[in-house]
Structure 1
Amino acid sequence: MPEDLQHWQPAKTPDNRTIEGRYIRLEKLDPARHGDELWLAFQGPDSDPALWDYLPYGPFPVREAFDAWLQNNAASRDPHFYTVIDMKNGQAQGTISLMCIVPDHRRIEIGHVTFSAPMQRSPKSTEAVYLLAKEAFALGNRRLEWKCNNDNARSKRTAVRLGYTYEGVFRQHMVVKGKNRDTTWYSIISTEWPSIATGFEKWLALDNQPEIGQIKSLEECRAVTV
């Protein structure tokens, strides 16, 4: 059925609600509550040395600069930052945001994805994106974007795995940390989301995530829904 554009209403904007899943929950970023654990997760001895390579900020050699960065993020409405909390141990293990929020055109982006080493390549990281994508469409958006440095092979693989569609490259789009950035764009649109969401749910289900690891890949779970 064609989308009804004659009775157009803007999307809602993100609020400060906590969003809960099976493996993680998303809380509005609060430096007072989350700062110590995020500092350890992002800059501690077991942190990912490549974490900041393609982000426009970091690394932070001193805590003062890190705290200022967290405070700015917490005060921002766009991007709207969340802290990722591990449901098992209650630790803050990452941050993620909804950004480029354009309610009048009902589009939004998931970005500033900063996941610590314990989150990477785990159900926690996938669920964090799923929960935020679900929230984005529940707010009434019809387009969900993902963009990254064209040199960032890890982010590009992740976008495709998560079900985003490749749209192209903006050449000489930005200068970040004194270097040229060509930006690769991906999207999920509202008509695609129901089947993509079902794929996420099948992948995250307990019968697909026993203690030994996944049974079917996310791509396989998504393929049976289309």
Structure 2
Amino acid sequence: MSDDHLPIGKALPNWQPRLAPSPIVLSGHFCRLEPLHSHHANALFAAFNEAEDGRDWLYLPAGPFADAAAYRDYVQRIAGKNDPLHFAVIDLASQQPVGTLSLMRQTPEHGVVEVGFVTFSPKLQRSPLATEAQFLLMRYVFDALDYRRYEWKCDSLNQRSINAAQRLGFIHEGCFRQAMVYKGRNRDTAWFSIIDADWPLIKAAFVQWLSPQNFDQNGQQIQRLQAIRERLLKDGSLP
């Protein structure tokens, strides 16, 4: 039987493996991402400790931590690793770390990487810094490293993470049932992604949302990120 007429994927004759992510500094208007280091630990623990309870750690494989010493030990174990490559989110106004996130499951031979271990303190949650931190990492992956695919995965019961992924522009791809066991319980994993073809629209929306003109005198957004994305798509007004 000839396979001449069987369907195959789009040819990529000029494809070359990409570079792996590096522990670099990424700067924006509101925040800076820098490689996580043990010297961030005390300030991060204090920021996380402003939460009313430990629910921010519920769907993460680690935490919550009983005290600053336990969190310092955790940071010392994960800092300096290449995969996951953890970053601290630094608030430019206070110059203090207020959260972390990472690039993980790196497969540069395919141009694929996942954002994970997103741990934002109350100082960071629902703020322009939180959105910009995600944008800075995304922009690094697509514009600097020229990757094809950027993934977001979470417990399928973690509605807050699902909402965040969709707000940022990730596309839901499905659910992997019984994908893992963590903290002694099952996890069905929801999969989301942004691919390089999606990036121009998503990037343009981030740039407009993060513009100073999109915030009133109280620092409140004027247009929602999703609304900007929908308008750009409808108008066909990408740069």
Smaller-chain TM-score range? over 0.9
Question: Does 2:149 correspond to 1:111?
Answer: no
Pair 1:38-2:44 in alignment: yes
2:13 corresponds, among 6, 13, 17, to: 6
Deviates most, 59-68 or 82-91: 59-68
Higher gyration radius (CA) = 2
Residue 204 of structure 1 corresponds to: 210
Please give the alpha-carbon distance, in whole angstroms, between the structure 2 residues aligned to 1:81 and 1:188.
Answer: 20
Q: What are the equivalent positions in structure 2 for 1:67-82 lying under 5 Å apart?
A: 67-82=72-87
Q: What is the correspondence of 1:44-123 to structure 2 with a 5 Å cutoff? A: 44=49, 46-49=50-53, 50-123=55-128
1:171 to 177, 199, 208: 177
Partner SS state of residue 202, structure 1? helix
Tell me how far apart the structure 1 counterparts of residues 217 and 52 of structure 2 sit (CA, whole Å): 24
CA distance in 2, matches of 1:189, 1:220: 20
- Structure 2: give runs of 5+ residues left out of the alignment: 1-9, 234-239
1:40-84 deviation per Cα after TM superposition (whole angstroms, max 9, x unaligned)? 012x2x225221010001011033321121012112110001000
Native 8 Å contact 1:26 1:128 kept in 2: yes
- CA distance in structure 2 between the partners assigned to 1:67 and 1:112 by the alignment: 16
Q: C-alpha separation between the residues in 1 aligned to 2:80 and 2:103?
A: 14
Runs of 4+ residues deviating >4 angstroms: none
Equivalent position of 1:17 in the other structure: 24
C-alpha RMSD of the superposition: 1.4
Q: Which position in structure 1 is the counterpart of 2:236?
A: none
- CA–CA distance in 2 between the matches of 1:87 and 1:75? 23
Give the number of equivalent residue pairs. 222
* Contact 1:164/1:187 (<8 A) preserved: yes
Amino acid at match of 1:53: L
Change (3 A) 1:194 1:183: same
Distance in 1, matches of 2:52 and 2:71, equals 16
In the superposition, the TM-score normalised over structure 1's length comes to 0.95
User: Which of 187, 190, 193 is matched with 2:193 structurally?
Assistant: 187
- Letter of the 2:186 counterpart: N
Cα displacement (A) at 1:5: 1.2
CA distance in 2, matches of 1:221, 1:158: 16
CA deviation profile, 1:79-115 (whole Å, cap 9, x unmatched): 0010000011101100010111000010001110000
- CA–CA separation in structure 1 for the residues paired with 2:222 and 2:131: 15
Alignment of 1:203-222 (within 5 A): 203-212=209-218, 213-222=220-229
Q: Name the SS for the 2:20 alignment partner.
A: coil
Amino acid in the other structure paired with 2:226: E
Q: Is the 8 A contact 2:42 2:68 kept in 1?
A: no
Q: Which amino acid aligns with 1:141?
A: Y
Report the Cα distance in structure 2 between the residues aligned to 1:15 and 1:108, rounded to whole angstroms.
Answer: 13
Measured in 2, the distance between the counterparts of 1:153 and 1:186 equals 13
Task: Name the CA distance, whole Å, in 2 between partners of 1:125 and 1:57.
Answer: 21
